[in-house]
Structure 1
Amino acid sequence: MKNSIAERVCDFLISYPPFDKLNENDLLEIAKEVNIMYLEKGDIVFSKDDTYHNYFYIVRNGAVSLYHRTNDNKMNMVSINDAGDIFGVRPLIIEENYKLTAVANEESIVYGIPIEIFKSVTNNNVKVYKYLITSFASNAYDPYTAEENEKIFIDYLPNQSNDIVFFQTANYTKRPITCTSKTTSQEAAVKMSKHKIGCIIVVNNKKQPVGIITNSDLKNRIATGLFPINTPVANIMTSPVITDRKDITVAQGQLQMIKHSIGHLCITKDGTVNSKLIGVLTHHDILVDLGNNPAFILKEIKRAKRTKTLRSARQKTNSLLKSYLDQNIPLSHILKLVSKINDAVTVRVIELSIDKMPSPPPVKFSWLAIGSQGRNEQLLFTDQDNALVFEDVTEDKYEETQNYFLELSRLITKSLNKIGFEYCEADMMASNPEWCKSLSKWKRQFTDWILNPNEKAILLSSIFFDYSRIYGDKNHEDKLTETIYKTLGNTSLFYSFLGKDALKSPSPLGFFKQFLVEQNGEQKNLFNIKKRALMPLIDAARLLTLSKQIKGVNNTAERYEKLAELEPANKELFESCSYAFKALLKFKTKQGLMHNDSGKFIKLESLSKEEKLKLRRCFKPINEVQESIKLRFSLTNFM
């Protein structure tokens, strides 16, 4: 006879990590023994200092909050666990009493997962273990860092990006505060207070670590009267210390701390206690590394109630971006992650803006990102390019409907501006009536640009044909795409105009192979990497994919990769274009992060000889793909 309850539990668990990493039989074995808990708001699952349970937990419905109780009996919220979130994993990793209190935030259903059975079916499953270690580390409470910083980092929900964070080099304190074994405890405490730190490392005359003193040592051994305040630190320090090398990863740091039940690791020159101290890695550092990742940021965005919170979340992305670039993470992966964050910010802004409107949207609509965001290439803060498409309405309702969406668009673009995305100087935004209209009018607009090409039509189509739906009815996006490709089949003149536009920026190098720089204005003598290097590749890729009727591929590098697949004879050219584009965009992004701007204009004197050489190598595919376009579209006489 089927165990229908266990099967329903199994169906739920399979959708969430780490249970999605188990086979069906193992999962069903766990599901049969799950403890189903029905909680009213305020019900406690476990409290701080409770003896650990034989279960860890996953929220089925509702929400469960985790709290830390301070010394003055105040309850500070650490995190809120929604459906699919696991919590209370401490007894699964390390058998000690709970550090936090778990309380039902609302009427909830929670599954208790039996630890012994779970361990038996997940033995040697590295993926499951890695996930649980990460979840434990992010929800574990470190009293020293929290007391020192008055902040606790909230929950962490791993996804595919977790692999990068988990195995990246941990960020540790490079200049640790030290003292000698003869230093008095009072002197050590004063030093810790002065530098606002939670620990001090005791070193010998060779600067090798011999001990560590934390707030806990001072509290338990000095404040209790066990030792006088002027006792040498040698009497109260923890020794020997646990050490590791400077290239320690986040994962290794977590495992070391859990294995030795410590909150601090001494980083030495060769990773042993017999070499010079060069840094300290704390549990707080680990949480910061885990907190500053796409999954954490996306969850923060999803829960944001204010534009200020969204701005903070988006600004964290720049730190993440710099970290990924420094680690040489593939740009294609970085583009996907940052694009996902940008889109999530836009979606949340739209949701909050709709809530501010006096009434719900009168008809279905779609918000389109155009330009760099539409191509999933927006890594830094740039200006806004967007459009809105709404469902067709009768003529007598059109003005009223458009006015509603114009007002909504103004709220959206205003919030995006506050977050850091500047208003478009050319007003190519949905708050402009020209770019906020019905599906039928958008279809007519696209058709007119294609069938009646001129300089303005080509300029606009080169921007608006790179679009992606961020929010709303996907049907609108599909119908616009269908209109574009159907109309393109009725003309060849449009390709000639688009080809001419793709060739408007010739080689970035002059006759004598010198960089072509701006000749006047504020940017005089600066190299415009966007105009002279990136845009020629972007424009060429757009033209070629349109001519090949390639749908659903907007990113420039991916367009070239698709072209390489379709045209084996030109595979080498298109692959070199893809590589060059990613290298140039990476270079532009690094410049932008370095100078806190868009990275568009580069001062050539600031570049090393090697950097200039790398740029020149990227320019070769530009010449080659432009020559190919001239021949392919017979543009020699059209220019």
Structure 2
Amino acid sequence: MNTIAEQIADFLKEYSPFNHLTFEELSEIANSIRVINLDKNKELFQVNDILHDSFYVVASGVINLSVIADAEETLLNKCNAGDIFGLRPFFAKNNYMMTAKAREETIIYAIPIVTFRPFVANNSQVLNYLLESFAINTRNPKDKANLFGKLISDTVYYSDQQSEMQYFQSLSYTVSPLITKKSTTAQEASLLMTESLKNNILIIENDLPVGIITDTDMRSKIATGRYPLTVLVDKIMSSPVITVMENISLAEAQLLMLKHNVTHLCVTLDGTDKSAIKGVINEHDLIIAQANNPGVLIKEIKRCQTSKEIKLIRDRLTDLIQTSITKNIPISHIFNIASEINLAIIKRSVELSIFELGSPPARFAWLSIGSQGRKEQLLLTDQDSILIFEDVAADKYRDVKDYFLKLAKKTTSILEKIGYEFCPNGHMGSNLIWCKSLTDWTKQYDSWMNTPGENSNEISSIFFDYEIAFGEQKIEDAITNIIFKNAKNNTLLFDFLGNDALRKNSPLSFFKNFNVEDDEPNKNKFDIKTRALLPLIDGARLFALYFEIRGINNTFQRFKQFAITDPKHSEVYLKCAEAFLTLSKFRTLEGLKNDNSGQYINLEELTKTDREKLKNALLPMKELEDLIKSKFQLTQFS
């Protein structure tokens, strides 16, 4: 081994996860490492860059990791010597979601993922460390500071890694903790705990937490006679208290309790012991959260053998959505969780069909289209899907298509039993025209996009929002390439889609009153889907095609991305992003309340404040409409 590689190996073995590897393994890695010198303020990668083939370790200097949220740069984390960053290529397929920039002159080690992957596969400690680092984005084991203060925000989080879901699941906690002063005796503290049925009491000084006493302390220190009942609490309390911010997730709380060997965490305003107390998290809170943990639900789905079993889990997802909204968890975060669970349900339904029919005769992809394709399906709405199988020899085509139609019919039937109704427009893989080969699909998209309007009764924009639920990633990529190739400089298409986006009836009248339905059964109700959400969804899809933004299908995330891509109009895009979340929340609450799709809002039942909030969320639509008109100079289909 050459001396440079030797120096690198010596450096790495001081830090996790490399300290879990043998010297031979480290030497092999060190030999493949590239050394990168970065000048001050030089970027290694930025938001939306294509993923690199390596991840990185800071050798010396400092790297700042930042994101753009609401068109402002926010510093997420600083990486010092020994810190790992840039792990996204390990766990996700979409582009970087943050920027890495040298804060001073910095030396970086680039470790090729292809070299490192075998060591991850064979060593669970290394894998857990990487998962944890990717999820919480910190970490130098020598750093004794609070490791969990700097979390990736909801707007940034997106991952294909289901096992990470628990890193982003918020916790409920006790919001009115029991508190007392240092001058209290153990006897007085135990009486307070008994009267209030609490198993812990926080000790405060100047209103700040300095210690905690739990049932365990009382048993091990007082009941055993080690200390008399008259002892002051500051002699038996555990100190310092481990403090956290209120947005701590389930996994982070578990890791902290394990790390510090404690059973309680104190929630404070800024996560330190120098700010106001907000509550206490105990082990019982973790157990409750675990039962509805998205990761747990996904594992259970993978084991299901019947549609009946899956349906029970889908019902628990509804509860999870309901609780999350009540707890004021951001709806963008709820979209992520629900979409991962919906995806697991679709995937399992396809698997169960394959178990029954036998192995597929060709490779294929099952794509969810429409709201699930955009990761926006919170309610039990109808199912939308397409099936694409690889090209096969002409004499095999009929048999192959026959198999996939049977597969699709079985799968859609399972999904219907789970509670996803059949699509009334027949947009499902079980429909003869939406189950075909890659070449046939290529012709279909070519026809839609190059002669829009000619088959306008057939084109449905939901076919442009899709997500692979099962099968070959390469098939989905091929469709994406066809779409973006056809979209390039395609004035006719943008003219058609632009007019289509503007064709919806206006949500507000000239006098800024709600335009409501005239006919029964929804007379005087407001159609939030058609009049409010669809114009935003259509507008976001139109601009995503125009700006060639791949891999982001979610309407909210699309608008946030446009603010970065087209900063001149960032204000309009950001208003639309917020409006979309507000409107989605209204629709979801309506749907949960009435056990339906939430499409029609009963305005009579809204409070005055909510009516105003709903009205304000409709205002950015006019600006979006004007932007579409000016950007696309609409003529042909106007």
TM-score (norm: length of structure 1): 0.61
Residue 397 of structure 1, CA deviation: 1.7
Q: What one-letter code is carried by the residue in structure 2 that aligns with 1:564?
A: A
Q: Which residue of 1 aligns with 2:384?
A: 385
DSSP 3-state at the match of 2:372: helix
- Alignment coverage as a number of residue pairs: 461
Q: Which residue of 1 aligns with 2:406?
A: 407
Q: Which residue of 1 aligns with 2:315?
A: 315
**For residues 486 and 158 of structure 1, what CA distance do their matches in structure 2 show?**
32
Residue 125 of structure 1, CA deviation: 6.3
**For residues 328 and 122 of structure 2, what CA distance do their matches in structure 1 show?**
35
Q: What one-letter code is carried by the residue in structure 2 that aligns with 1:300?
A: E
Q: Which residue of 2 aligns with 1:292?
A: 292
Residue 293 of structure 1, CA deviation: 1.3
User: Are the structure 2 counterparts of residues 392 and 319 from structure 1 closer, same or farther at C-alpha, using a change threshold of 3 Å?
Assistant: same
Residue 391 of structure 1, CA deviation: 1.0
Preserved CA contact (<8 Å) 2:162 2:340: no
**For residues 624 and 533 of structure 1, what CA distance do their matches in structure 2 show?**
13
Say if 2:563 is the partner of 1:569: no
Pick from 19, 23, 34 the counterpart of residue 25 of structure 1.
19
Q: What does 1:409-558 align with in structure 2 at a 5 Å threshold?
A: 409-454=408-453, 457=456, 460-489=459-488, 491-558=490-557
**Per-residue CA distance 1:438-485 (angstroms, 9 max, x = gap):** 111111111111222227537634111111222111221122222222
Q: What one-letter code is carried by the residue in structure 1 that aligns with 2:314?
A: R
Q: What one-letter code is carried by the residue in structure 1 that aligns with 2:392?
A: V
- Residues 361-370 or 628-637, more deviating: 628-637
Preserved CA contact (<8 Å) 2:533 2:584: yes
List alignment gaps of at least 5 residues for structure 2: 2-8, 27-120, 126-139, 150-160, 177-192, 202-214, 216-237, 239-244, 266-279
User: Are the structure 2 counterparts of residues 379 and 84 from structure 1 closer, same or farther at C-alpha, using a change threshold of 3 Å?
Assistant: farther
Say if 2:161 is the partner of 1:162: no
**For residues 324 and 569 of structure 2, what CA distance do their matches in structure 1 show?**
32
Q: What one-letter code is carried by the residue in structure 1 that aligns with 2:350?
A: I
Q: What one-letter code is carried by the residue in structure 2 that aligns with 1:287?
A: I
Q: What one-letter code is carried by the residue in structure 1 that aligns with 2:516?
A: V
Residue 426 of structure 1, CA deviation: 1.1
User: Are the structure 2 counterparts of residues 455 and 512 from structure 1 closer, same or farther at C-alpha, using a change threshold of 3 Å?
Assistant: farther
What RMSD over aligned residues (CA atoms) do the two structures have, in Å? Answer: 4.9
**Per-residue CA distance 1:202-229 (angstroms, 9 max, x = gap):** 759xxxx9xxx9xxxxxxxxxxxxxxxx
**For residues 254 and 493 of structure 1, what CA distance do their matches in structure 2 show?**
55
Q: Which residue of 2 aligns with 1:236?
A: none
Residue 535 of structure 1, CA deviation: 0.2
User: Are the structure 2 counterparts of residues 283 and 441 from structure 1 closer, same or farther at C-alpha, using a change threshold of 3 Å?
Assistant: same
User: Are the structure 2 counterparts of residues 257 and 344 from structure 1 closer, same or farther at C-alpha, using a change threshold of 3 Å?
Assistant: closer
**For residues 516 and 302 of structure 1, what CA distance do their matches in structure 2 show?**
45
User: Are the structure 2 counterparts of residues 124 and 634 from structure 1 closer, same or farther at C-alpha, using a change threshold of 3 Å?
Assistant: closer
Q: What one-letter code is carried by the residue in structure 2 that aligns with 1:418?
A: K
**Per-residue CA distance 1:310-329 (angstroms, 9 max, x = gap):** 22222222222223223333
User: Are the structure 2 counterparts of residues 405 and 353 from structure 1 closer, same or farther at C-alpha, using a change threshold of 3 Å?
Assistant: same
Preserved CA contact (<8 Å) 1:122 1:128: no
Residue 28 of structure 1, CA deviation: 5.5
Q: Which residue of 1 aligns with 2:53?
A: none
User: Are the structure 2 counterparts of residues 162 and 552 from structure 1 closer, same or farther at C-alpha, using a change threshold of 3 Å?
Assistant: closer
**For residues 123 and 146 of structure 2, what CA distance do their matches in structure 1 show?**
17
User: Are the structure 2 counterparts of residues 263 and 426 from structure 1 closer, same or farther at C-alpha, using a change threshold of 3 Å?
Assistant: same
Q: Which residue of 2 aligns with 1:633?
A: 632
**Per-residue CA distance 1:21-64 (angstroms, 9 max, x = gap):** 934236669x99xxxxxxxxxxxxxxxxxxxxxxxxxxxxxxxx
Q: Which residue of 1 aligns with 2:329?
A: 329
User: Are the structure 2 counterparts of residues 396 and 631 from structure 1 closer, same or farther at C-alpha, using a change threshold of 3 Å?
Assistant: same
Preserved CA contact (<8 Å) 2:173 2:282: no
Residue 281 of structure 1, CA deviation: 10
Q: What does 1:613-632 align with in structure 2 at a 5 Å threshold?
A: 613-632=612-631
Preserved CA contact (<8 Å) 2:167 2:249: no
**For residues 122 and 561 of structure 1, what CA distance do their matches in structure 2 show?**
34
**For residues 616 and 425 of structure 1, what CA distance do their matches in structure 2 show?**
30
Identical columns (%): 40
- Residues 336-345 or 248-257, more deviating: 248-257
**For residues 596 and 587 of structure 1, what CA distance do their matches in structure 2 show?**
14
Q: What does 1:332-347 align with in structure 2 at a 5 Å threshold?
A: 332-347=332-347
User: Are the structure 2 counterparts of residues 550 and 171 from structure 1 closer, same or farther at C-alpha, using a change threshold of 3 Å?
Assistant: closer
**For residues 486 and 446 of structure 2, what CA distance do their matches in structure 1 show?**
6
Q: What one-letter code is carried by the residue in structure 2 that aligns with 1:25?
A: N
Residue 369 of structure 1, CA deviation: 0.7
Preserved CA contact (<8 Å) 1:529 1:600: yes
DSSP 3-state at the match of 2:456: helix
User: Are the structure 2 counterparts of residues 478 and 123 from structure 1 closer, same or farther at C-alpha, using a change threshold of 3 Å?
Assistant: closer
Residue 158 of structure 1, CA deviation: 9.7
Residue 430 of structure 1, CA deviation: 0.4
Q: What one-letter code is carried by the residue in structure 1 that aligns with 2:19?
A: N
- Residues 280-289 or 299-308, more deviating: 280-289
Bigger Rg, structure 1 or 2: 1
**For residues 256 and 426 of structure 1, what CA distance do their matches in structure 2 show?**
50
DSSP 3-state at the match of 1:485: helix
Preserved CA contact (<8 Å) 1:371 1:464: yes
Q: What does 1:589-600 align with in structure 2 at a 5 Å threshold?
A: 589-600=588-599
Q: Which residue of 2 aligns with 1:395?
A: 394
**For residues 481 and 393 of structure 1, what CA distance do their matches in structure 2 show?**
21
**For residues 632 and 619 of structure 1, what CA distance do their matches in structure 2 show?**
21
User: Are the structure 2 counterparts of residues 264 and 129 from structure 1 closer, same or farther at C-alpha, using a change threshold of 3 Å?
Assistant: closer
DSSP 3-state at the match of 2:468: strand
Residue 528 of structure 1, CA deviation: 0.9
Q: What one-letter code is carried by the residue in structure 1 that aligns with 2:16?
A: L
**For residues 531 and 478 of structure 2, what CA distance do their matches in structure 1 show?**
34
**For residues 255 and 559 of structure 1, what CA distance do their matches in structure 2 show?**
33
Residue 512 of structure 1, CA deviation: 2.0
**For residues 412 and 122 of structure 2, what CA distance do their matches in structure 1 show?**
32
User: Are the structure 2 counterparts of residues 596 and 534 from structure 1 closer, same or farther at C-alpha, using a change threshold of 3 Å?
Assistant: same
Preserved CA contact (<8 Å) 1:590 1:599: yes
**Per-residue CA distance 1:228-285 (angstroms, 9 max, x = gap):** xxxxxxxxxxxxxx9xxxx9999799899999x99999xxxxxxxxxxxxxx999666
**For residues 333 and 626 of structure 1, what CA distance do their matches in structure 2 show?**
28
- Residues 430-439 or 548-557, more deviating: 548-557
Q: What one-letter code is carried by the residue in structure 2 that aligns with 1:541?
A: A
User: Are the structure 2 counterparts of residues 286 and 23 from structure 1 closer, same or farther at C-alpha, using a change threshold of 3 Å?
Assistant: closer
**For residues 588 and 349 of structure 2, what CA distance do their matches in structure 1 show?**
25
Q: What one-letter code is carried by the residue in structure 1 that aligns with 2:528?
A: I
Residue 518 of structure 1, CA deviation: 1.1
Q: What does 1:185-264 align with in structure 2 at a 5 Å threshold?
A: none
DSSP 3-state at the match of 1:363: coil
User: Are the structure 2 counterparts of residues 364 and 257 from structure 1 closer, same or farther at C-alpha, using a change threshold of 3 Å?
Assistant: closer
